[in-house]
Amino acid sequence: MKIYFTLITLLSAMTSFASTPVWQDEFNQPVGAAPDSAKWIYDLGDNGWGNKELQTYTNSRENSFVVDDPEATDGKALVIKAVKTGEKSYTSARLKTLGKFSTKYGRIEARLKLPNGQGIWPAFWMLGDAINKTPWPECGEIDVMEQIGHQPGTLYGTLHGPGYFGQHGMSKSTQLPAGETFRDKYHVFSVEWSPGKIEWFLDGKSYHTLTPKDLPAGGRWVFDEVSCYLLLNLAVGGAWPGYPDATTQLPQEYRIDYVRVYRHE
């Protein structure tokens, strides 16, 4: 029995995280301000992003800006806003920390309030920071949170890598109680990334775990080799979520209270 409890203690210590983030953004800049340029840069353009998406990503204050929000922990949040600009044209924003910050292992979390509606696709995710030399999917991708807007109470967590990517990514979903949606209030989405293991959480409750032994035949676990940068984006349309229709209301707002990264103690 003593040995059993000793093992439990050791395992707990191995998976504990520091109480102070090694990197964070609380988005507490002045109202109307852009995201902090010391922490984030923009992806720009309208090339479909490999998913047949419709939006053009911009760096305009129409699409990303800080607001007062009494439901946010410090009273402020970042808004990523998708706007309809024509019959089948839209603008939005996609932010990333490439060249500013990346991490290997740790707890990566964000407190988010999500939009919904047919064809609306918010995400919080990570890509291997060697992507310019090691193309996707070999660089690795960790999708901390994805939601497709016609499933407003369903959350997806997914891993992509060599041998398991795109529609064959290692994905699992979880649902809010019947009748609740991720638009109703903020929730905390996170992964705990350790050597040989990645685990997904919603509001502190685990719903998905992957290790190298879970990969399909021929799949390769790259997540003990790479560091990843962070991304936040709000897409419109795409092969997976489908496309806006007469039921889709625009503009749509994706709200980010904070993003925090903790390392192992």
Residue 21, both tokens: 């983030």
Average pLDDT over residues 91-104: 98
The active-site residue, picked from 141, 180, 225, 253, is 141
Q: Residue 258, Cβ neighbours under 10 Å: how many? A: 22
Q: How far is residue 145's CA from residue 122's CA, in Å, rounded to a whole number?
A: 8
DSSP letters for 157-172:
EEEEBTTB-GGGSEEE
| Phi, psi for 13 (deg, rounded to 5) | -65, -35
Place of tokens 């690795």: 140
- Domain of 80 in residue numbering reads as 19-262
Active-site annotation holds for 141 = yes
- The reply to whether omega before 251 is within 30° of 0 (cis) is yes
Q: What is the pLDDT of residue 15?
A: 61
* CATH code where residue 23 lies: 2.60.120.200
Is 175 part of a structural domain of the chain? yes
Is 91 part of a structural domain of the chain? yes
What mean pLDDT value characterizes the chain? 94
Based on the structure, what is the number of domains in the chain? 1
Q: 114-147 burial, b if ≥16 CB within 10 A, otherwise e?
A: bbbbbbbbbbbbbbbbbbeebebbbbbbbbbbbb
Active-site annotation holds for 225 = no
Q: What is the pLDDT of residue 7?
A: 35
Is 142 part of a structural domain of the chain? yes
Q: How far is residue 83's CA from residue 68's CA, in Å, rounded to a whole number?
A: 20
Is 4 part of a structural domain of the chain? no
Check pLDDT > 80 for residue 205. yes
Is 85 part of a structural domain of the chain? yes
Is 10 part of a structural domain of the chain? no
Q: What is the pLDDT of residues 237-247, one digit of tens each?
A: 999 999 999 99
The identity of residue 159, as a single letter, is: L
Q: What is the pLDDT of residues 136-185, one digit of tens each?
A: 999 999 999 999 999 999 999 999 999 999 999 999 999 999 999 999 99
Is 8 part of a structural domain of the chain? no
Q: What is the pLDDT of residue 1?
A: 38
| Phi, psi for 8 (deg, rounded to 5) | -60, -45
Per-residue pLDDT band for 18 (boundaries 50, 70, 90) equals: confident
Q: What is the pLDDT of residue 10?
A: 38
Per-residue pLDDT band for 265 (boundaries 50, 70, 90) equals: confident
Residue 130, both tokens: 């060697």
Average pLDDT over residues 57-81: 98
CB contact set of 153 (below 8 Å; sequence gap of 6+) = 175, 176, 177, 178, 179, 180, 181, 182
The active-site residue, picked from 146, 192, 253, 265, is 146
CB 83 within 8 A of CB 250: yes
Q: What is the pLDDT of residue 127?
A: 98
Q: What is the pLDDT of residue 4?
A: 33
Is 14 part of a structural domain of the chain? no
